[in-house]
Amino acid sequence: MRYYWQILGILILLWLGLFALAKIELPPSWSISFDAPGLRAWLQDEEVEEQAVRLPQSDSLVQEKEQKEDKTAAKSQQDSSSKYILLAGDSMIEHFKATIKKEARAHGHQIISCIWYGSHTTQWSKKKKLKELIKDYQPDIIFFSVGGNETLFRNIEDRRPYIRDIKAQAKGIPFIWIGPPNWKEDNGFNQILKEEIGDSCYYPSIELRNQLARKSDGAHPTRKASVIWAKAYLEWFAQQSAYKNHCWIWPSLPKAERRSYVKTELDSLLPQRALGHSVRILELNK
């Protein structure tokens, strides 16, 4: 029975090793996603407006321009009506965030955006990124959009616990999950999102599937399409979401019009706090 014990010994060592591995946090997965920054550079129909954050290769977050701003100063800019928004997601939001930023800034909000290329719910659930972002920036509201990479998965029911965990990480902070802008038939991921997050906190981007032009990879919305997507989202956010009264971002206002609201202080359309934002922005710009 000598070799029988040898096989058992190997099995025991293997289990011990696996338990030890479970205690170690391995580096982020080296799995493939459809994001391959640079691969399509020569085919890109549009130039990316801003350099987005790339997360997975290193453990440290690369901060965007506004993240680099002094955090304390940013916090001090907040008043009772100004909000601190965290926008996090996968590569689908690369251009989407530009519009969100523009609109949010126009109404006096501070926004931190974070793109984790190739990410899916597993990573956001298991890794500490979202928790760290929340802890570091203490946002008033979270816009979260992950799921593009999940459209390739077969066992989509497995995503459910990760989705629940991500939602739980928000710890009561207003949280909106912006569904992935599918470029192909949905595999059930959106239905799971809807069930887990709830109608009023889940935006079904999938409904725009046929309206969004795609980049040459056939998957990512182009910059122009992302504007349509972002505006549709903001409209939904302002009118139908659970936090429609939480912070005001939409509709977009031309600069001159914004200024006139401030000047005349006769804004019957806008909530008072939005007016306050505009005033504050003007003050900051001085």
Q: Using CB under 8 A as the criterion, which residues of the chain lie in contact with other proteins when the complex forms?
A: 1-11, 13-15, 17-18, 21, 26-27, 29-34, 36-43, 120-123, 152-158, 183-184, 214, 216-219
How remote is the C-alpha of 259 from its chain's centroid?
Answer: 30
- Closest distance to other proteins from the beta carbon of 216 (Å): 7
Comparing CB distances to other proteins, the nearer of 183 and 203 is: 183
Comparing CB distances to other proteins, the nearer of 11 and 173 is: 11
- Closest distance to other proteins from the beta carbon of 146 (Å): 12
Comparing CB distances to other proteins, the nearer of 67 and 119 is: 119
Comparing CB distances to other proteins, the nearer of 62 and 156 is: 156
In order of 38, 172, 266, the CA distances from 248 in angstroms are 36, 19, 17
Comparing CB distances to other proteins, the nearer of 14 and 269 is: 14
Contacts by residues 233-239 (CB-CB < 8 Å, ≥ 24 positions apart): 233/96, 233/100, 233/178, 233/203, 233/205, 234/99, 234/100, 234/103, 236/203, 237/176, 237/203
- Closest distance to other proteins from the beta carbon of 78 (Å): 36
The answer to whether the peptide bond before residue 221 is cis (omega within 30 degrees of 0) is no
- Closest distance to other proteins from the beta carbon of 60 (Å): 19
- Closest distance to other proteins from the beta carbon of 124 (Å): 11
Record the tokens describing residue 22, joined without a space: 């479970």
